[in-house]
Chain A
Amino acid sequence: MGSLIIVLFFSVGLIAGIYGISLNFLQINDPSIYALYLLMFLVGIGIGADSNVWGTLKKMNLKILVVPFIVIAGTLSGTYICSFFLEDVGALDSMAIGSGFGYYSLSSIIISKMRNDTLGVMALLANISREIFTLLATPLLVRYFGKLAPIASGGATSMDTTLPVIAKYSGKDYAVISVFSGVVLTILVPFIIALIYRFI
C-alpha cells in the first residue's frame, strides 16, 4: 500500500515533468536537498523512538550480527559482477545502487544527488523491485534456500514492509533476526553509498 502511493507520487511528478512543468522559477538550485535533510532527520527520529529497535538490540547474539553483513557482502559482490555486463553503469555505481538494499526512497534520492538523475531512477526501480520480489518469492526462497533467504532478499525492508511475510514463512524466531538485519541495513544505507563514492 505504502509503496503504491509512493509510485503514484513519482508518476504524477514524472508526467507533470514530461508536460513541461518544472520548479526552475523557485530560483533555488535544488529544492529537494532540503526535503532530503528533513527526511533524514525524521527517519532518525523514527529509528530512535522505535522500541522494537532497542528491544531487538538487547536480545541479539553474535550469530544475529552476521546476517546484515552477509546481505551487504552478497549484494556488493552480486552487483559488482553484474557491472561487467552493463555497458553504461560502472562498478561503483552498480554497487551503490545495490546498497539501497530495497530502501528505494532514500537510496534513489541520495544517488541522484551525488551522481545524476539517470542513476537515481535506476536505484529507485532496482530497489522497488527488490521489495516486490521479496514479497512475492518468500515462500519459494524459504523452501529452496532456507529461512534466512527472505531476510537476505528483503535487505532493509525486512524490518517493516516484508516483515509480515517473512515472519509467516520463516517463523517467529526469525522475525527477530529479520528486524535486526533490516534496522542495521536501513541505518547503513547512506553510509555505504557515501563510502562507495569516496573512491571516485
Chain B
Amino acid sequence: MIEILVIMFSGIILGYIFRRRRSIITIADKLAGWSIYLLLFLLGLSIGNNEMIINNFAQIGFNSILLTISGITGSVLLSFIAYKFFFKKDETL
C-alpha cells in the first residue's frame, strides 16, 4: 500500500505546483470522476462474479449498517463532549 501513499503525495505536490493552471486542474478533476466511475464499475463486476457475496447480501448489508451507526455514534458523542467543553463558550473562532 505504500506505493498508493507515495503516488497520492506526488499528486498533492504537482497539484500545488500547477494550482494556477486551471485547465490542467479541471482535466485532472474530470479524470478523477471517471476513474471513480470505472473503479466502482469494476468493483461491481467482481462482486457480481462472486456468488458468495451475492448470496449473503442481506447479511453484508446488515453488518454495514451496524458499522455505520457505531462509527457515527462514537464520533458524535466525542464531538458533543468537545463542543460542550471547548467550543460552546466562545462561539467566535
- Considering only residues 36-57 of chain B, those with a C-beta below 8 Å from chain A are 36-50, 52-54, 56
| Cβ proximity bits A162-200 to B, threshold 8 Å, 1 near / 0 not | 000000000001101100000000010011011001000
B11 touching A44, Cβ below 8 Å? yes
A153 touching B44, Cβ below 8 Å? no
| Cβ proximity bits B55-93 to A, threshold 8 Å, 1 near / 0 not | 010011101111111111111111110111011100111
- Considering only residues 20-78 of chain A, those with a C-beta below 8 Å from chain B are 20-23, 31-32, 35-51, 54, 61, 63-64, 66-67, 70-71, 73-78
B4 touching A37, Cβ below 8 Å? yes
Question: B46, B74, B80: which has the most chain A beta carbons within 10 Å?
Answer: B74
Q: How many A-B contacts at CB < 8 Å in the complex?
A: 308
Partner of B8, one of A9, A41, A133, A149: A41
Residue of A nearest to B17 (CB): A48
A194 touching B87, Cβ below 8 Å? no
Residue of A nearest to B81 (CB): A70
A79 touching B70, Cβ below 8 Å? yes
A98 touching B10, Cβ below 8 Å? no
The answer to whether A147 and B87 touch (CB under 8 A), given A75-B71, A129-B64, A129-B68, is yes
Chain A residues lying within 8 Å of B37, measured Cβ to Cβ, are 5-6, 9
CA distance A124 to B44 in the complex (A): 11
Partner of A39, one of B12, B35, B54, B78: B35
Partner of A22, one of B19, B41, B45, B60: B45
Question: B2, B10, B28: which has the most chain A beta carbons within 10 Å?
Answer: B28
Please report B residues at the A interface, Cβ cutoff 8 Å: 1-5, 7-19, 25, 28-29, 31-33, 35-50, 52-54, 56, 59-61, 63-80, 82-84, 86-88, 91-93
Chain B: minimal CB distance from A179 (Å)? 13
Chain B residues lying within 8 Å of A43, measured Cβ to Cβ, are 8, 11, 32
Chain B: minimal CB distance from A181 (Å)? 10
For the side of the interface on A, what is the size category? 35 or more
- Considering only residues 117-162 of chain A, those with a C-beta below 8 Å from chain B are 117-118, 120-122, 124-127, 129-130, 133-134, 141, 145-149, 151-153, 155
Chain B residues lying within 8 Å of A19, measured Cβ to Cβ, are 48
CA distance A82 to B71 in the complex (A): 8
A74 touching B93, Cβ below 8 Å? no
Chain B: minimal CB distance from A108 (Å)? 6
